[in-house]
Amino acid sequence: MSLLLHLFTVAAVSAGVFFFLAGTVGLLRFPDTLTRLHALTKADNLGLGLIVLGLLPQCPDVTSALKLVAIWALVQLGGATASQLIAEFARRDGGGR
Amino acid sequence: MSLAVDLVMVLLILTTAVWTILVRDRRDAVIAFIVLGLLLSLVWMRLMAVDVALTEAAVGGGATGLVLLRACARLLPVEAEGALPGLRLQLAVGALCALVAAGLSAVILAPVDPAPTLAPAVAAHMDEVGMKNPVTVVLLAYRALDTLLEKVVLVLGLIGVWALAPDLFWGGRPASLRAATPSGTLDFLARVLPPVGVVIGIYLVWNGADHPGGTFQGGTALAAMWLLIMMAGLGELPETRALRLRRLVAVGPALFIAVGFAGFWMAGGFLSYPPGLAKPIIVAVEVALALSIAVILALMVAGPAAKEPER
């Protein structure tokens, strides 16, 4: 059972790292502000989400698991709002560069 | 493996530090400085100094970064962008920085062996104070005088910021923090986040007794929530002459000083705590300090008064 949980952790965290990598490549390679933001939010939502999901079985108790989920939710809120704000400014400046 | 991670961190930090200095645009330099603060907090985490990491992220990167960004915005109309100081000044700054770096590296590269430490003495007497976080014990019990002076310096710093206001505006409101164009997204965040952020701020202060956290980290979280509300235009900055505001600024240091003098007849010395009562006294002081720090930091970001006080 514990081996299965460890395997799950490795798989989920690796998938999360992949999304972070893909998001970073997108941030560096995509042509304009809006598409770059699109790449970045994938790293935030899916990347961090999968890493938190993978770490959940490793938590010693329910409280620390809940804290991890709370951190993910807060990063979601912060990341989504920040990218909306950046997008608003980019659009106002004329499409973004 | 962990050596590789450390090397990457070192490389990242050096690159960001050099970038902070070399970049021409002032605002880009401040943004690089904020990134540097976040990277440094990760390094403190690697060193297992969680208290320092939290403070670095909250104050070093966050609050200081915000103050610098505000300063950039205010400087723009005054000073031509890209104007560099004279060569002599640049050389002087460079030489002094090199001197500081050489001194620091001499200390780090040639450490005294064994390093002088009071850690075992602190660990042996932790129970007498009744708290489990050694950082808080050192800050508020053994080195309380340093901590007290540090908070007084904050108040002096705020007085210094306020003193920049022209006589006409003295006691008035600082320049509005509200975004030039209203944004529904910012408004949404300013309505949803503060309840959570305030709880986190209080949690950091309360938790500081036994776990990493404390007045500075908690106070900064509270200040950030207040600033967010004002940036979204959901609240107005108070007049700097408002009595309630000034009381909040003073309450933490004032209570700390009062506790210090009370120590003379309670335990026979300035800032001494009577046995058994140390923890409740320290927690009371911390709550007051967190309130003061929150208000002071927010007002430092807001800057000096920029409007005439209302009659």
SS3 of residue B174 by DSSP: strand
The domain total for chain B is: 1
pLDDT of residue B1: 67
Asked if A86 and B187 count as a contact pair (C-beta separation under 8 A), the reply is no
The domain of B189 spans 120-311
pLDDT of residue B90: 86
B214: left (phi over 0), alpha (psi -120 to 50) or beta: left
Give the mutation candidate from A85, A91, A93 for the B interface (greatest B CB count, under 10 A): A85
For B232, the closest chain A residue by CA position comes to: A85
| A10: number of Cβ within 10 Å | 11
- Virtual torsion, Cα B87, B93, B98, B100, nearest 10 deg: 170
pLDDT of residue B18: 92
Contact status of B262 with chain A (Cβ, < 8 Å): no
Distance from CA of A85 to the nearest CA of B (A): 7
SS3 of residue B36 by DSSP: helix
SS3 of residue B305 by DSSP: strand
Residue holding tokens 């920049």?
A: B164
Question: Which candidate from B185, B188, B192 shows the least CB-CB separation from A88?
Answer: B185
The encoded tokens of residue B151 equal 């908070």
The neighbouring-strand residues paired with B305 are B174
Which residues of chain A does B45 touch, with a Cβ-Cβ cutoff of 8 Å?
none
Stated pTM of the model: 0.86
Contact status of B122 with chain A (Cβ, < 8 Å): no
Q: pLDDT tens digit string along B87-142?
A: 899 899 989 999 999 999 988 888 777 777 888 888 887 777 778 888 888 888 88
**For residue B19, is it within any domain?**
no
Closest CA to B159 of B246, B235, B74, B95: B246
**CA B40 vs CA B11, B46, B52, B98: distances in Å:** 12, 10, 10, 20
Closest CA to B171 of B219, B236, B239: B239
- Residue B226 contacts by C-beta under 8 Å, 6 or more apart in sequence? B235, B294, B295, B298
CB–CB contact B181 A92 (8 Å): yes
pLDDT tens per residue across all 311 residues of chain B: 688 989 999 999 999 999 998 887 888 899 999 999 999 999 999 988 899 999 999 988 888 999 998 888 877 665 655 566 788 998 999 899 999 999 999 888 887 777 778 888 888 877 777 788 888 888 888 888 888 888 899 999 999 999 988 888 888 888 888 877 778 888 999 999 999 999 999 999 998 888 888 888 999 999 999 999 998 888 888 888 889 999 999 999 999 999 989 888 888 888 888 877 888 888 899 999 999 999 999 999 998 888 888 87
> Predicted ipTM?
0.82
pLDDT of residue B176: 84
pLDDT of residue B288: 93
pLDDT of residue A96: 45
> Sign (positive/negative) of CA torsion B48, B52, B58, B63?
negative
Q: pLDDT tens digit string along A49-79?
A: 999 999 999 988 999 999 999 999 999 888 8
- The pair phi, psi for residue A60, each rounded to 5°, is -70, -30
- Residue A65 contacts by C-beta under 8 Å, 6 or more apart in sequence? A56, A59
Tally A–B CB contacts below 8 A: 15
Asked if A7 and A63 count as a contact pair (C-beta separation under 8 A), the reply is no
SS3 of residue B308 by DSSP: coil
The encoded tokens of residue B199 equal 């709880």
Domain boundaries, chain A: 2-92
Distance from CA of B279 to the nearest CA of A (A): 25
Q: Which of residues 11-30 of A touch B (CB under 8 A)?
A: none
Asked if B296 and B225 count as a contact pair (C-beta separation under 8 A), the reply is no
The stretches of chain B forming alpha helices (DSSP H) are 2-22, 26-46, 50-55, 64-75, 87-109, 119-124, 126-129, 134-137, 144-162, 184-207, 215-231, 243-266, 278-302
B182: left (phi over 0), alpha (psi -120 to 50) or beta: beta
Asked if B259 and B283 count as a contact pair (C-beta separation under 8 A), the reply is no
Q: pLDDT tens digit string along B256-284?
A: 999 989 888 888 888 888 877 888 888 89
